[in-house]
Structure 1
Amino acid sequence: MAPVSVAAFTDTYLPTVNGVSYTIQTWRDRWRDRGGTMRVVYPGCDEYEPELEEYPVRSLPFPMYEGFRLGTPRIPAAAENVEIVHAHTPFAVGLGGVRLARRKDLPLVTSYHTPTAEYADYLTSLPRVEHSIERLAKRYERWFLSHSDAVICPSEDARDRVRDTVDSDTPAVVLSNGVDVDFFAPTDPEPFRERYDLPDGPLVGYTGRHGYEKNLPEFLRAAAGLDATVVIGGDGPAREDLESLAADLDVDARFLGFLPREELPAFYSLLDVFVFSSPVETQGLVALEANACGTPVVGVDAGALSDTVEDGVTGYHYAHGDIAGCRAAVERVLDERDSLSRSCLDRREDLSVEHAVDQLAGLYGRVIDENGTE
């Protein structure tokens, strides 16, 4: 029997590079491989040509959040003939998913990828206004999630946040986004090292959005006492400040800029330690990608990273704000790098997106059965 047909609504998608975009694309591809249909509705733009089962809606750039576009809550006709609706984001396009579920009396599943209140940082720098926006965002998030028949949370920490937000009648289910372990696997990093002119010796690094919420200055301050080169991929609004801080601290830091996805396995494989200092993650997918490539992670003991990193197995934690503790954790991983790398690789199948999609299929089936949808 083919998997159920799904309409997935998202306010962020390719060509914007983030974990949500790639998770949706990967799930869609795996769903198709299994003979199913997952139609993706997203904000369209001239820079991206839609593929099969992708349906853009009209959108405008959002000037306060680089790479984000404001879509419209339209429902393409091709997305209407489905058995279940999955809203990945709570903004305009996500509202289109809620409208479709209501109009067609279809089950609705939502994903909790990012707390809505975090976007307040991008709208204002005035504390009083920011707090007001955060309160409104939390109320709106409660309203949005409460329309769901199930909320998918990528970690136990995210599930706890959802349970604090919505009433107890809305099931919150832990389901990892999963990692494409066929793609994210150990690879020869030397061509990458040569291409970016990186030195021999210990390399510690990070890749992802350079947002202020990612807490990257903590990583750089910890690196100031390390005998290692810092390698940072990605880009974002905090990059200029980070480069200035690294210079002030006299840290040997190489900022590589945006890395194409096809280069990420080599980037991870090149690092001796991946450092993730962000306390606001709902899963921390890049940490799992690093692990799948055999690279252990030093992660802040906050948010989802408290669960994503397993001490002594896939890396080590340090307390949020403890710069000396971060430095000590990196040094410990450097000392145990070989054994930690082996244990990371032993756990690759547990991280796989195939495992995640198996769980997703089971969840869709349960929600449909509970709603009596034929």
Structure 2
Amino acid sequence: MTEDLPTVAAFTDSYLPTVNGVTYTVSTWHEEYQARGGSMPVVYPRSDHEPDETEHPVSSLPFPFYDGYRMAIPSAPDEVRDADVVHAHTPFALGLAGWRLAEQNDVPLVATYHTPTAEYATYVGPDAVTGAVRRASERWERWFLDRADLVLTPSERTKEDVRDLGVETPVEPLPNGVDTERFRPVDGAAFRERHDLPTDRPLVGYTGRHGYEKRLSDVLAAAEELDVTVAFGGDGPARDDLEAEAERRDVDARFLGFLDRDDLPAFYSALDAFAFPSPVETEGLVALEANACGTPVAGVNAGALSETILDGETGYHYEPGNLPGFRRAIRRTLDEKGRLGENCIARRDDISVGRAIDNLVERYRSLL
């Protein structure tokens, strides 16, 4: 699949140096596609990221409601105007610019539905405002997605969510994939030593954005009756409250802060189990990264985690809101770490970004 790759202009409102599932997917797809000899220039909001010749920042302003995000001025640089396909990773500012480019050039528009923006309405203001923002964002998402020729979702469950919005455009699930060259089992002992993490008790952890909607406090509640150390990597608006709750519950919790991407394979490998209570995931990429490093996951049976975690094979589920169930899922995952870890390793090819790009190229070609 290396010959005659179409030129694809990728538009995203979230990009490096911000680290989240969207920026990781867009940047990894960009690298993999270019490595195959294709051209996938990326248009993103200008930030302090130093672009290469295939990355094209446009003017932007700070986003007042969420630190680290920026609002781009909708525009399409001249460097992307010869694209065969436009791929929008956002329904908002730069997604709109991508749609306009696709319309002007009469080329296909593909849209990936990464994040249900209504889930983040709580960051905007009080409940009355939140409800209005939620309804408005859902209407806008439906309007935008219906202008695409194809909508991709990271999971089958997220495809159902898009259908529930009333979108009439064809929708297909296409997992984003994990860079299995980067995420592989390594010796985690040095990571534990560097961060002063104990070696005489199980280590349960999570890394990613510390958002309230991810229900990370449930990890602390579940750990309260377990003889484990909890390690949180990452940062976000809920961190201060999580630290206070860990102290109140007397849980041995270590907050490591932002981890460099090069440190993540060692972090995952150092864990005995990855704990993931977030019910709002569209794929749960960090769970797959943990699996690629041989670490099983105890996670909620909701959202995309219902299918990302293979119950009894790569970890265990628990039902939403069932804290004793979460505790049991963590215990079982720890008890069966050896068998579950072997299953995770055996699944590496299936969850790789290479497999994702193979499928993505097929979708592009079908539209052309």
TM class, shorter-length: over 0.9
SS of the aligned residue for 1:158 comes to helix
1:207 equivalent to 2:207? Answer yes
Task: Give distance in 1, aligned partners of 2:261 and 2:64.
Answer: 25
Task: Give distance in 2, aligned partners of 1:337 and 1:190.
Answer: 17
Question: Who is 1:72 aligned against?
Answer: 73
1:120-159 → structure 2 map (5 Å cutoff): 120-124=121-125, 126-159=126-159
The AA in structure 1 aligned to 2:279 is P
The AA in structure 1 aligned to 2:90 is T
The AA in structure 2 aligned to 1:68 is Y
SS of the aligned residue for 2:16 comes to coil
Question: Who is 1:297 aligned against?
Answer: 297
SS of the aligned residue for 2:332 comes to helix
The AA in structure 2 aligned to 1:205 is G
Distance apart, 1:166 and its partner CA: 3.5
Match of 1:27 among 26, 29, 51: 29
Question: Who is 2:196 aligned against?
Answer: 197
Question: Who is 2:227 aligned against?
Answer: 227
Question: Who is 1:185 aligned against?
Answer: 184
Q: Percent identity?
A: 57
Question: Who is 2:170 aligned against?
Answer: 171
The AA in structure 1 aligned to 2:223 is A
The AA in structure 1 aligned to 2:249 is L
Distance apart, 1:30 and its partner CA: 1.1
Question: Who is 1:94 aligned against?
Answer: 95
Provide structure 1 residue ranges, at least 5 long, that are not aligned to the other structure: 369-374
Task: Give distance in 1, aligned partners of 2:247 and 2:31.
Answer: 43
Task: Give distance in 2, aligned partners of 1:90 and 1:225.
Answer: 43
Task: Give distance in 2, aligned partners of 1:82 and 1:34.
Answer: 17
Distance apart, 1:133 and its partner CA: 1.1
SS of the aligned residue for 1:328 comes to helix
The number of residues matched between the two structures is 365
Task: Give distance in 2, aligned partners of 1:141 and 1:358.
Answer: 27
Distance apart, 1:96 and its partner CA: 0.5
Task: Give distance in 2, aligned partners of 1:289 and 1:51.
Answer: 26
1:1-374 → structure 2 map (5 Å cutoff): 1-45=3-47, 47-124=48-125, 126-168=126-168, 170-200=169-199, 201-368=201-368
Distance apart, 1:161 and its partner CA: 0.6
Task: Give distance in 2, aligned partners of 1:202 and 1:72.
Answer: 48
Task: Give distance in 1, aligned partners of 2:305 and 2:348.
Answer: 17
The AA in structure 2 aligned to 1:89 is T
CA contact (8 A) 1:175 1:359 kept: yes
SS of the aligned residue for 2:275 comes to strand
CA contact (8 A) 2:12 2:43 kept: yes
Task: Give distance in 2, aligned partners of 1:128 and 1:112.
Answer: 26
The AA in structure 1 aligned to 2:362 is G
CA contact (8 A) 1:145 1:166 kept: no
CA contact (8 A) 1:273 1:298 kept: yes
Task: Give distance in 2, aligned partners of 1:367 and 1:173.
Answer: 13
CA contact (8 A) 1:273 1:333 kept: yes
SS of the aligned residue for 2:330 comes to helix
Distance apart, 1:242 and its partner CA: 0.3
Distance apart, 1:2 and its partner CA: 2.6
Distance apart, 1:116 and its partner CA: 2.0
- TM-score computed with the length of structure 1 as normaliser: 0.96
The AA in structure 2 aligned to 1:178 is G
SS of the aligned residue for 1:222 comes to helix
Task: Give distance in 1, aligned partners of 2:44 and 2:114.
Answer: 16
Distance apart, 1:36 and its partner CA: 0.7
CA contact (8 A) 1:2 1:34 kept: no
Q: Deviations over 1:49-74 (max 9, x none)?
A: 11131000000111211110000111
Task: Give distance in 2, aligned partners of 1:122 and 1:105.
Answer: 37
Q: Deviations over 1:91-123 (max 9, x none)?
A: 111111011011111100000000121231221
Q: Deviations over 1:208-254 (max 9, x none)?
A: 00000110011110010101100110000000000000000000000
- TM-score computed with the length of structure 2 as normaliser: 0.98
**Ranges of 4+ aligned residues in structure 1 off by more than 2 Å:** none
Task: Give distance in 2, aligned partners of 1:17 and 1:163.
Answer: 28
SS of the aligned residue for 1:38 comes to coil
The AA in structure 1 aligned to 2:177 is G
SS of the aligned residue for 2:41 comes to strand
Task: Give distance in 2, aligned partners of 1:86 and 1:331.
Answer: 42
Distance apart, 1:48 and its partner CA: 1.1
Q: Deviations over 1:107-142 (max 9, x none)?
A: 000000001212312211x11221111111111110
CA contact (8 A) 1:153 1:159 kept: yes
Larger deviation, residues 278-287 vs 16-25: 16-25
Task: Give distance in 1, aligned partners of 2:312 and 2:149.
Answer: 38
CA contact (8 A) 1:279 1:302 kept: yes
Task: Give distance in 2, aligned partners of 1:132 and 1:43.
Answer: 26
Q: Deviations over 1:290-331 (max 9, x none)?
A: 000000000101000001001110000001111111001111
Task: Give distance in 2, aligned partners of 1:187 and 1:63.
Answer: 40
CA contact (8 A) 1:146 1:166 kept: no
CA contact (8 A) 2:145 2:167 kept: no
Provide structure 2 residue ranges, at least 5 long, that are not aligned to the other structure: none
